[in-house]
Structures are given as structure tokens and as C-alpha cells.
Amino acid sequence: MNPLQPAIDRYTELVGDSPTGVWAGPGRVNLIGEHTDYNDGFVMPFALQHAALVAAGVRDDDQVVVDSLDLSETHTVALDDLTPFDAPDAPERRWSDYLLGCVWALREAGHAVGGVTLVLSSDVPVGAGLSSSAAIECAVVGALCDLFDLDISPMDRAKLARVAENAYVGAPTGLLDQAASTLCTLGHTLFLDCRSLETRQIPIDLAAAGLEILVLDTKTPHSHVDGEYAERRATCERAAAILGVPALRDVDDLGSALRVLAAEADNDRLVKRVRHVVTENDRVLEAIEVADSGDLTKLAPLLDASHASMRDDFEITVPTVDLAVETVRDAGALGARMTGGGFGGCIIALCREGEGEGIGQRVAAAFAEAGFGAPVWFTATPAEGARRLA
Ligand code: GLA
């Protein structure tokens, strides 16, 4: 069956007419560069084949009707009643806010967006660190741009989607996820400088190098609308203020920065957080050189070092994630790291082609032995960014 058909049928059932179109926003894995985006640093994601699909059409009233095919729920909100998370009378946040927030963000930015029906269906795993929320936002922003004739560049679409996430939903994230969803292209990993917003599409042909990337979901759910992510971000901002730089991106001499921070009361935490961000930015730059050289096996030690830094310095890994990384390395993966915001979710492992499945099974066995729930996994190749499908 046409994979778009269920969303089209649901739209037709709700509205009594076919949708104007169907738009997609993919999830992503971040190859390297974690918690660097809100420090004005560097990231290197690629889009997944998993995507959020939105069947959409304009309405002739002032309502926003959002429907989730996966949850069988419909919510209707009048345009004037769209309420960001920090408004005094804000209702509790729910899944529909990722869609409603996009309508709100575009209107706040002065775009003429009216009533609309949006039917959502997504196969991006939720809470896995694969940007299921940005996938939704970027599909919706794409739909709104086309439906209301808005000429907005992919980068500006990503920024608007981020406004939905930060100001409407209330998750204080950086630009990584939304930029990955709107800007990534088939067969490439994206380099993004989160300060200058310079981008580069870097060809990455894993199969030609005899490699594959295993994405393994530990099924330990994580969330960004909670304290830990915001705490890491606030600590980075405080460290930058102590160091007298606009952002940790600007730390050129790590040794002397760490000596300055050592004088602070909570010096251990500050030193570790800063060391992670500064070394992670360096690893992204090295990863670009590796990708350019074509010898992708050399990504492996960078992935390993990134994981160790997230585990020991940024302290955002959890036992399931660390066990998964150790097990894939023991099982023959060349290098591995957690991907995404942390505190659960997915790891990625660079494997020799054809070995990912067996390596995933080794993790399943190790999880069973440790009394953890069963993980799930797949191999990923860089897929297309957000686009209209029909
Ligand atoms: C989440 C956020 C991103 C980024 C990553 C960590 O995915 O949405 O902005 O900060 O965590 O790299």
C-alpha cells in the first residue's frame, strides 16, 4: 500500500475532501557533535529514512485541527487560542503542541497562516534521541509554507521550527535537530556551524567503504522538557560568562580556561562540562577531515572519544547506553557513541558492512543478562531532508 494512504484517508474522513498535499520531515542521527549546538559550536547529523508525515489542507475557518493517526486523537484549537508553555493560563503540554507550535511560531513571525487541518503519522521512534519532535515540526512548517505560499528558506524553516520547540513546547534545545531535518540531503552528512550557520554537505558513502552504521535504541526513554538538559545548558552558559567569552565555542586555550574554572566553588562540574564541549567541537572538525579523506574507518576513534567524553565529562549517559556501547565494541564495532541529547535513547555504531545485525543481537543478549528491557536496532544510511511528497 502507498505509505501516504493512511494519512490521506484519515484527512479525507475528517474534512470530507482530499488533502492538498503530504509533507515529510525526517528524524536524524547526529554522527558527532553533541551539546555543542547551543554553545555556538559544530554538529554533523544525517537524516534518517524514518520520517513524520503530515497530510494537510487549509480550512475556511480559524481553527487548527490536528490529528494523530498513531494515537487516534484529534485536537482543535482556535488560532487566537494558541498558548505557549509559559503563558499564565497555558494548558499542560501534549503531543499536539509540536504541530500547534509551528502555526503559532509562523504567525508570531508575521506570516499569514490561517486555519488548517494537519493529520500526522510518524515512524520516527519517540523518546529515542532521533528527533521525533523536530521531524514533526519540520514536516508541519513545510506544509504551512506551501499551503500559505510562504517563501522561506530551509535554514529559516529550521529556525521557525526551533521557535516552536523552544517558545511554544518549552524545550530549551539548540538548532541541531531542526536544521538536520530541513537541510540534510540524500547520501550526505551535514556540517553545520551553529554560529555562522555555514553549512556543508559532506558525501558519505558507507557502502563504498564497506561499512554500515547501526542505530540501536536502548529503549530507555529520554525527554528534553525536563531538568537535566536545561541544567547542562545553563552550566555551559555560566562557564562562558566566567571565562568572559560569548559562548564556549570561543574557548581557544582549553588548559588556561580550565585553570580559571578551577577557582570556582563547583569547579569539578564546570571543568568537566567545558572540557566536553571544547573537545567535542574539535572532534567534529576532525570528523570533517576524515570524511573528506574518504577513509571513514578513521571516524571510529572519534566516536569512541565522544562517547567517553559524554559519559565522564558531560555525564549524560545512563547504564543501558554505556552497556550498549561497550557491548558493540566487544562484538566488533569499530567505534560507537550515544547520539542525541542523552539520558537514554540511541547509540550509533560504525560497523563493517553486514555485521550490524549480529552486533545488535549481542547487545540484546547482554541486556537480557543485565535484566534490561529488549533493545531494537536498524542500520541507517543518510536519507533526504524535509520535502513535499504528494
Ligand atoms: C537534543 C537537542 C539538540 C542538541 C542535542 C545534543 O537533540 O534538541 O538541540 O542540543 O540534544 O547535541
Confidence of residue 230 (pLDDT cuts 50, 70, 90): very high
Active-site positions read: 177
* For ligand 1, atom 8: residue with the closest CA: 173
Distance CA 218, CA 374 (A): 7
Q: Check pLDDT > 70 for residue 40.
A: yes
What is the position in ligand 1's atom list of the atom closest to the CA of 38?
10
Distance CA 232, CA 238 (A): 10
Pocket test for ligand 1, best of 29, 32, 36, 37 (most atoms within 8 A of CB): 37
Confidence of residue 151 (pLDDT cuts 50, 70, 90): very high
> How, if at all, do strands 199-203 and 211-217 pair?
unpaired
* pLDDT tens-digit series, residues 51-71: 999 999 999 999 999 999 999
Distance CA 126, CA 137 (A): 14
Distances (CA, A) of 193 to 6, 45, 96, 243, 304: 38, 12, 31, 21, 22
Q: Check pLDDT > 90 for residue 222.
A: no
Give percent of the chain above pLDDT 70.
Answer: 99
Buried b (16+ CB within 10 A) or exposed e, 235-272: bbeebbeebeeebbbbbeeeeebbebbeeeeeeebbbb
Mean pLDDT of 307-317: 98
- Altogether, the residues listed in the chain come to a count of 390
Q: How far is the CA of 80 from the centre of ligand 1 (A)?
A: 30
3-state secondary structure (DSSP) of residue 330: helix
Q: Which grid cell sits at 275?
A: 572540557
Q: How far is the CA of 43 from the centre of ligand 1 (A)?
A: 10
What is the position in ligand 1's atom list of the atom closest to the CA of 34?
12
Q: How far is the CA of 26 from the centre of ligand 1 (A)?
A: 15
* For ligand 1, atom 2: residue with the closest CA: 173
Q: How far is the CA of 235 from the centre of ligand 1 (A)?
A: 15
Annotated domain spans of the chain? 5-203+384-388
Distance CA 241, CA 247 (A): 8
37 lines ligand 1 (CB under 6 A): yes
Q: Check pLDDT > 70 for residue 224.
A: no
Eight-class DSSP state of 383: B
Question: 130 burial class (0-12, 13-18, 19+ CB within 10 angstroms)?
Answer: buried
Q: Which CATH architecture has domain 5-203+384-388?
A: 2-Layer Sandwich (3.30)
Mean pLDDT of 228-249: 97
Pocket test for ligand 1, best of 130, 173, 317 (most atoms within 8 A of CB): 173
Is the four-CA dihedral 50, 55, 58, 60 of positive or negative sign? negative
What is the position in ligand 1's atom list of the atom closest to the CA of 36?
12
Q: Check pLDDT > 80 for residue 225.
A: no
Q: How far is the CA of 340 from the centre of ligand 1 (A)?
A: 6
Q: Check pLDDT > 90 for residue 246.
A: yes
314 lines ligand 1 (CB under 6 A): no
Q: How far is the CA of 34 from the centre of ligand 1 (A)?
A: 7
pLDDT at 29: 98
Confidence of residue 73 (pLDDT cuts 50, 70, 90): very high
Distance CA 299, CA 301 (A): 6
pLDDT, greater one: 218 or 223: 218
Q: CB of 174 within 8 A of CB of 184?
A: no
Q: CB of 174 within 8 A of CB of 37?
A: yes
* pLDDT tens-digit series, residues 104-123: 999 999 999 999 999 999 99
Confidence of residue 221 (pLDDT cuts 50, 70, 90): confident
Confidence of residue 171 (pLDDT cuts 50, 70, 90): very high
Q: CB of 46 within 8 A of CB of 213?
A: no
Distance CA 135, CA 69 (A): 15
- Give CA 51 to chain center in angstroms: 12
Pocket test for ligand 1, best of 224, 309, 315 (most atoms within 8 A of CB): 224
What is the position in ligand 1's atom list of the atom closest to the CA of 37?
10
Confidence of residue 223 (pLDDT cuts 50, 70, 90): low
Mean pLDDT of 286-306: 97
pLDDT at 1: 83
> How, if at all, do strands 376-380 and 346-352 pair?
unpaired
* pLDDT tens-digit series, residues 190-220: 999 999 999 999 999 999 999 999 999 999 9
What is the position in ligand 1's atom list of the atom closest to the CA of 171?
8
Long-range CB pairs of 184-187, under 8 A, 24+ apart, other chains included: 184/26, 184/28, 184/45, 184/46, 184/47, 184/382, 184/383, 184/384, 184/385, 185/47, 185/382, 185/384, 185/385, 186/382, 186/383, 186/384, 187/381, 187/382
